[in-house]
A and B are shown apart, each in its own frame.
Chain A
């Protein structure tokens, strides 16, 4: 090889020496051969360099394409995440998501027994209210209402289990255990009622009708966990105590929070109520005591907003007929009555000829408005006189009452 022979080094460094050396024919032939070999190796190296570079360029080209694809995927993923957060973020608390994602078991099906506090809220007369509205308006109302309620429930670290139409099922004490779950749930229920003022103000801004909500709260043992199939599972609660909470809720009128004895016991002397009453819900053997909550003292101190309203006595009492409802089916006998007064809180005073039990659900039809059904719950009952609170008040009835002359 050319560079390894000291003669060639000398030859390259000194032109005089080169002339002497190359004068020899054998040495000249040797030099030409070495130079040719060097040229061939040089050509190979150039080709090696170019071909390797070509390969590198090809690989880099693919890399660039992949980077573009990844960037496009990242953008798409961010859009999806933003959408998911927007749609579900209000409904599922971060705690639920983090708890479920943190543990591998979190994604498996199965459950455990746990004592929790269940909160169920429902709108009074929402179906009646919806009848006169378009689907966009119904969805607009629900979004404003459910959004506000979800915010409140989130503040109290409850987790919303599901929205069932206009009803909300939330639990306290799962998936993250909470020592004070009964107190949180009751305080949350009061905060939800207080938030209804803001909700109704927002609805009014959009020209939408006002809502009234009832809430039932109950503490009991349930099964919690991922329920469903592998394809569609959700973190949920099941058990008779869930059904019982729903029954308790059904005794409410708008603006009311009713809680079970077990929830009341957990709060002890921190609970403020208007009193309590016994009910015998369907499918429940023993009668249960229900407390009509006005406030909570202690760390979660919160109280219901004061309700004050003026009674308006009608100059011309309105004749009507009412039927007592069993469940939600109307089947009872029609009774005559006279509506003598009403107030802004949807209460009405009726003169009746029969005894109407407290908390009966009634269907009312005014003689002046045949075919217009109103629904109400009896909140006070004495001989010959009852006070009802409307649970579904058709607009026609409100307009009729507001147009009637009042007694001086």
Chain B
């Protein structure tokens, strides 16, 4: 997407764009993914940076996907790469909350375990 309207806005812990929002809730140490994420690989950079930064602060992290209706291939690729980086870092406690009513989540989120075996996947 080269359209300027799709450029994310907000702070580096609250990234918003048309139809989506990715934000970090510090007290619960949870990153919330909401809406429809269909960015290009390079456009995922701010989200990628937020994930890395937050994990650097502390090994405990929650990823809430229950409000994420759609995630394109570049998006899932970014998540898997993040899982690989976390595995290499070692000593992480990452828990993913997903929804089985969103078809792709039931298939693609459990695959995170291939990259990061200790990750906990919870599907509502």
Question: Could you list which residues of chain A lie within 8 angstroms of chain B, going by C-beta atoms?
Answer: 44, 47-48, 51-52, 54-56, 58-59, 62
Contacts and interface: CB of A to CB of B under 8 A. Distances in A.
Contact of A51 (B70, B71, B76): B76
B72 A59 contact: yes
A251 to B, nearest CB: 67
17 contacts: A47-B80, A47-B115, A48-B77, A48-B81, A48-B84, A51-B76, A51-B80, A51-B114, A51-B115, A55-B73, A55-B76, A55-B104, A55-B108, A58-B103, A58-B108, A59-B70, A59-B104
Interface residues of B, number: 16
Nearest to B72: A59
Contacts of B103: 58, 62
Contacts of B104: 55, 58-59, 62
Interface in B36-92: 70-73, 76-77, 80-81, 84
Given A47-B114, A47-B115, A52 B107 contact: no
B100 interface: no
A10 B108 CA distance: 42
A55 B81 contact: no
B111 interface: yes
B111 A51 contact: yes
A309 to B, nearest CB: 77
A195 to B, nearest CB: 57
Nearest to A40: B88
Contacts of B111: 51, 54-55
Nearest to A48: B80
Contacts of B71: 55
A52 B84 contact: no
A47 B116 CA distance: 12
Contacts of A62: 103-104
A46 B72 CA distance: 19
B84 A44 contact: yes
Contacts of B108: 51, 54-55, 58
A5 to B, nearest CB: 20
Interface string B1-32: 00000000000000000000000000000000
Nearest to A51: B111
A64 to B, nearest CB: 12
Nearest to B74: A52
A44 B71 CA distance: 21
Nearest to B81: A48
B75 to A, nearest CB: 9
Nearest to B38: A59
Contacts of A44: 84, 115
Contacts of B77: 48, 52
Nearest to A62: B103
Contacts of B72: 59
Residue from A47, A51, A58 whose CB has the most chain B CB atoms within 10 Å: A51
A59 B73 contact: yes
Given A54-B108, A62-B103, 12 more contacts: A47-B114, A48-B77, A48-B81, A48-B84, A48-B115, A51-B76, A51-B80, A51-B108, A51-B114, A52-B76, A52-B80, A55-B104
Nearest to A61: B103
A59 B74 CA distance: 12
A58 B107 contact: yes
A332 B41 CA distance: 93
A260 B100 CA distance: 73
A158 B108 CA distance: 62
State the 7 A-B residue pairs at the shortest beta-carbon distance, nearest first.
A55-B76, A55-B108, A56-B73, A51-B111, A52-B77, A58-B107, A58-B104
